[in-house]
A and B are shown apart, each in its own frame.
Chain A
């Protein structure tokens, strides 16, 4: 095998070409990793939202929380079902929630968009993963207060800490900012259930009921009971399943992202192939010499493929490094199931970076194979005569 230092030093000697090609590959990897990081961020938000022990009860036929409604009397019955966990103060871990849409302008003047506005029982906080107030304070019931997250506060007019927004001409004031482990709850504005339904003039209305049922057997019983009850006309969806279903909103983004990444990769393959073709043509005599002293064709093939791989992996590393400062940066897109804003944080974890490096690897292998084949097809006697 031809020593790898031969390839590394050859790349270093042609440093300007190496750098430019690596940068081109790096830009492609950067763009792809950015897209993969966004998809992972959105999926993470939806994945984190579901708890194994939680059930969502909604109207039969409702495909989202917003199109669901549950009768108040039924909701009361649900809250007291056998198996529902109790909180420290002895109240059931069940949250009645009313969900509506707040049409709100973005801060950057990029038009208005839907934001989910959720009215919920105080216990609802405990049903969200790692809920905590990070700035300001939690809401008090009866005085039209609201809380939201930093991402939403930064992205939307009227939703910053201390700012007010209108619901049916009733003013709500944002008094606190919360975090919920990057879950989809972080894309919402929360207020007290009764305050919201009163403002909306739907007093007593409930969209869904969230139940925490720690025991699997109890969960199964509740599902069977609610499904089998003709009077309820409700369905029970495990929370994990519910948010899994919302992942379909990322499919379109995913398809487009992978298509773009694919096309960019093909483009970058031409860049690496071009560089490697230039390398092979300028090193004909070296190739001839290596063959003359006894290196077999496969050693030459491997050597040039490795060189192409090193070139592309260098670009891959540059591209991945470029994304790291953006790790955790928040963005927003539309959830195609709820048609409302979902905020997410870019996540460049090992899996996403590995995807980027795999693209770089593919560029190196596919872009390097034809030049490497050209190298081994050179006649030794002709190659030795090259300048």
Chain B
């Protein structure tokens, strides 16, 4: 695992971004003129009530969706104008995903799940094997690589999911409620692991959460309400903006 290579500018740059959904004649604005910068090596929590737009913002930053207006630049790529295929290639190279429900492929073993994003890289089988083993070592599940998801506990599944997220050594890790489906002990394990990824491996992390305890692991917490940024707490610098 290497340190990020975006020292010259922010990893995430969100400029005047709006996101609207149209249903019949109704226009629903989910994000209003959002502006945001995230430096390399940052760990940011996105908080807010349901429907506040935090998951939408996360999806835009992760290149899963495109804004209705404004610009988003992540890891040097302008995502607002990129095509679906460009976004797919970009995600494979730069983003690791952690989901609330782990989203492991049930018919693949832990090893094969972690290997999945690596099959999109030019690495050969031997190189992929080394990467998978490193990733599973980091999450402490090297001895479970042949297990299928149904043979693992929720916490273990989430750790496999984290191994999958870091296998390609991405710059950015996005996590959508990573502890939302876990008990307290497992949540702590996962959050400790994420903190380690951020501090020891320099990964930039954006995490959506409802849980203040999870948010406390982040260096910075953004509060959203009705699609607007209402608070930005920089824990590292003990500074509250807005």
Contacts and interface: CB of A to CB of B under 8 A. Distances in A.
Contacts of A297: 84-85, 88
Contacts of B108: 3, 5-6, 9
Given A13-B107, A285-B101, A381-B64, A294 B59 contact: no
Given A13-B106, A293-B116, A384 B88 contact: no
A13 B149 CA distance: 14
Contact of A294 (B89, B101, B106, B112): B89
Given A6-B105, A13-B106, A381-B64, A1 B88 contact: no
Given A286-B105, A381-B64, A293 B117 contact: yes
A2 to B, nearest CB: 8
B220 interface: no
Contacts of A294: 88-89, 91-93, 117, 120
Interface in A293-328: 293-297
A145 to B, nearest CB: 70
Given A289-B99, A380-B64, A381-B65, A295 B88 contact: yes
A293 B99 contact: no
Given A1-B119, A3-B119, A381-B65, A293 B92 contact: yes
Interface string A5-35: 1100110110000000000000000000000
B85 A292 contact: no
B101 A296 contact: no
B164 A293 contact: yes
A291 interface: yes
A285 B88 contact: no
B103 interface: yes
B206 to A, nearest CB: 14
B149 to A, nearest CB: 11
Nearest to A294: B92
Interface string B112-151: 1000110110000000000000000000000000000000
B88 A296 contact: yes
A contact patch SS = helix
B105 A384 contact: no
Contacts of B164: 293
Contact of B107 (A6, A288, A289): A6
A294 B107 CA distance: 19
Contacts of B43: none
Contacts of A384: 64, 99, 103
A284 to B, nearest CB: 11
Q: Interface residues of A toward B: which range? A: 20 to 34
Q: Interface residues of B toward A: which range? A: 20 to 34
A286 B149 CA distance: 13
A1 B107 CA distance: 17
Contacts of B84: 296-297
Contacts of A10: 107
Nearest to B161: A289
A328 B62 CA distance: 63
B119 A381 contact: no
A106 B10 CA distance: 91
Contacts of A6: 105, 107-108
Of the listed residues A2, A285, A290, A381, the one surrounded by the most CB atoms of chain B closer than 10 A to its CB is A381
Contact of B112 (A5, A12, A295): A5
Interface string B76-95: 00000000110011011100
Nearest to B107: A9
B102 to A, nearest CB: 9
Nearest to A286: B105
Contacts of B93: 294
Given A9-B108, A292-B91, A380 B65 contact: yes
A296 B89 contact: yes
B23 to A, nearest CB: 13
Contacts of B91: 292-294
Contacts of A289: 97, 99, 103, 105
Nearest to B64: A380
A380 B55 CA distance: 13
Contacts of A288: 103
Contacts of B106: 13, 286
A295 B120 contact: yes
Contacts of B107: 5-6, 9-10, 12-13
Contacts of A380: 64-65
Nearest to B90: A294
Contact of A296 (B85, B97, B105): B85
A115 B133 CA distance: 76
Given A5-B108, A13-B106, A296-B88, 8 more contacts: A286-B105, A289-B105, A293-B92, A293-B97, A293-B116, A293-B164, A381-B65, A384-B103
24 contacts: A1-B119, A5-B108, A9-B107, A9-B108, A285-B103, A286-B103, A286-B106, A289-B99, A293-B92, A293-B97, A293-B164, A294-B93, A294-B120, A295-B88, A295-B92, A297-B85, A297-B88, A380-B64, A380-B65, A381-B59, A381-B64, A381-B65, A384-B64, A384-B99
| Chain A to chain B: the 8 pairs with minimum beta-carbon distance, closest first | A294-B92, A9-B107, A289-B103, A296-B88, A293-B117, A294-B91, A380-B64, A294-B120
